[in-house]
A and B are shown apart, each in its own frame.
Chain A
């Protein structure tokens, strides 16, 4: 079975500052990893995904994440955040080859302040 841990329930940050949202996973098999974003009163939208290949993955809106197999982590980063980045961010994992079985973390609220 797989599990995802997002230790930070809320991350406050000032506009134009860098940010890192942490995600750690547990799995006995190889996995795919995802970050989704949920804006207020909306559904989830895919930010980026790691399936294979380069461990540094670039997504939409200037976000990127790095897969670290030895640390079982997939942290999300952005060098300079905007007010519009305020949202809930979810890390998710699925077993390799079974992307229908997404397991989500509990989410991290990114609160960007002016």
Chain B
């Protein structure tokens, strides 16, 4: 298996622009997670889905952030409008019904 796939790996954009991050989980995994990693706040869970349904979005910082999972093999995290403080590495992870999460390589977002 190719593991969790994220695209793009790097994104540089200007403040106010819309940003869409993409994730393909490992086939057969029921849960999908979006994390944000920054120097100041460390690794934070933004949202997680179970069987394509959002279960807990309490970590989503504000209404500018939204996440969707239209099917079992694809999820997006959208920021609109983006701000410089959104600059971070965003990780997607997936998990079978169990106890281990498998992380993707991350998307490094820079908002100028």
Residues on A lying within 8 angstroms of B by beta carbon are 32, 36, 41-46, 49, 51, 90, 99-102, 104-107
Whether B101 is near chain A, meaning CB under 8 Å from some CB there, is yes
Residues of chain A lying within 8 A (CB to CB) of residue B105: 41-43
Shortest CB–CB separation between residue A35 and chain B, in angstroms?
Answer: 12
B42 touches A100 (CB 8 A): no
Which residues between 65 and 99 of chain B lie within 8 Å of chain A, taking CB atoms?
A: 91, 93, 95, 98-99
Give complex CA distance A45, B102 in Å.
7
Leading 9 A-B pairs by shortest Cβ distance: A43-B103, A104-B43, A99-B99, A44-B103, A106-B42, A43-B105, A46-B100, A43-B104, A43-B106
Pair A100/B91 contact, Cβ less than 8 Å:
no
The residues of B that contact A42 with a CB separation of less than 8 Å are 105-106
Q: Distance in Å from the Cβ of A5 to the closest Cβ of chain B?
A: 12
- B4 on the A face (CB < 8 A): yes
Interface of A is mostly: loop
Q: Which residues of A contact B55 (CB under 8 A)?
A: 100
User: CB within 8 A of B42: which of A46, A102, A107?
Assistant: A107
Tell whether A100 pairs with B4 under 8 Å between CB atoms, given A90-B43, A107-B42. Answer: no
Residue on B nearest A36 in the bound complex, by CB? B103
Known: A49-B100, A105-B42. A43 touches B4 (CB 8 A): yes
* The residue from A44, A51, A105 contacting B91, defined by CB atoms under 8 A apart: A44
Min CB distance, B103 to chain A, in Å? Answer: 3
Task: Name, among B31, B55, B101, the residue most crowded by chain A CB atoms within 10 Å (CB to CB).
Answer: B101
Known: A44-B101, A49-B100. 20 other contacts (CB 8 A): A36-B103, A42-B106, A43-B4, A43-B93, A43-B104, A44-B43, A45-B103, A46-B100, A46-B101, A99-B95, A99-B99, A100-B31, A100-B50, A100-B55, A100-B56, A100-B95, A101-B45, A102-B45, A102-B101, A104-B42
Interface centre among A43, A44, A46, A105 (most CB of B within 10 A): A43
